[in-house]
Every structure is written in C-alpha cells, then in structure tokens.
Amino acid sequence: MPTVSIPPSFTPGSLYIAGFTQARSPHIGIIIPKDIHAGDLVHIRIDRATSPTWQYQHRVQKIDSDMFLSSLLKIHDTSSESSGQTQISLVQLQDAASTVTVPNNDHFGECGPWVFKVVQELHTRGLIALTDIGALEEEFNTLADGSRAFARRDKFPNVAVSQFCA
C-alpha cells in the first residue's frame, strides 16, 4: 500500500468532526483518533436491517486509506502541552452524545444536526470552547464539500483546524 502524506495539523487524541463522502451530502460524526490508522467514532446511522430509524453508534473507524472518510475538522486540539487543552476521553464524548436525542425518523441528513447538538453539549460541559455554532457548521460544510478528492484509499483525509472551536 502506498504511503499517504499526513498533514501536520492532524494530531491523535484531538477531537474532530469527521465527514464521509456519499452520493448526496457527507455523512457526519465525531472522532477521537488513537493514531493515524484508527479512532473512536460516535455518530448516528440507519441500518434498515435492524431498525427503520436513526440509531446511535460507537465504532472503531479506520482513518488512513479509508475511501469514504474525506474530511476532518479539528474542534479540540491537544497537540501541545503548552496549549493547556486536555484530551477529551471516549467516555466523556459518549456521555455528552447520549444526552442528545436521536431522531425517531428516517429522513436523510439528520446526522449533521445531531453532531452539532453534541458539539454544543461538549461546550456546555466545558470540554470545548465554541464561539459560533452557525459559523462552525458553515466551516465544516465548506471543508466537506471541497474534500471529495480525498475520498480515496491513497489519500489521507483533508484536515483543517476550526476557527470557531478550541
């Protein structure tokens, strides 16, 4: 397998909004990378074989060489000890996510609003510093829309650092 280039803004242990390229619009989740290869993803999804509505899910998500994971927007940086930022644990992320109601429908596009409600909950708990949720959504959508070319096994996801979260 070819070696992919890892952007310097990617740091394991930090918190990211993850965009997965799909036919209509990106699927969205929140991920804490363990390393360049995998991380813990929380998101909602529909699996029509088990449920006709959205369901919360935690899973280990492949990061490098995944052909659908195309964008990562860093919303909490733990890259340097001098930043004063502490790592958000999977338990803290799951606890915050569990307080956000999962939509009881099968409407396309519910994952985005759910993720941004989780981000707001993380802010309410003092785990991240959010300055503008609307601007964050727009920032993520612009990144995800421009990341289609990264939906390849030989490319690392497009990584950016949010201007509206820390």
- The structural domains of the chain, with segments of one domain joined by +, span 15-161
Confidence of residue 23 (pLDDT cuts 50, 70, 90): low
Strand order in the sheet with 27-33: 55-62, 38-45, 27-33, 15-20, 69-76, 158-161
Q: CA nearest 164: which of 124, 121, 134?
A: 134
27 in Cβ contact with 108 (< 8 Å): no
Q: What is the pLDDT of residues 27-78, one digit of tens each?
A: 999 999 999 999 999 999 987 778 888 999 999 999 998 889 999 999 999 8
d(CA 32, CA 153): 20
Q: Which alpha helices (H) appear in the chain, and where do they start and end?
A: 90-98, 111-124, 133-145
> Do residues 102 and 55 touch, judged by C-beta distance below 8 A?
yes
Distance CA 66, CA 63 (A): 6
Average of pLDDT values for 109-135?
Answer: 96
Q: Is the pTM of this model over 0.75?
A: yes
User: pLDDT band for position 154 (50/70/90)?
Assistant: confident
Per residue in 87-109, pLDDT tens? 899 999 999 999 999 999 888 88
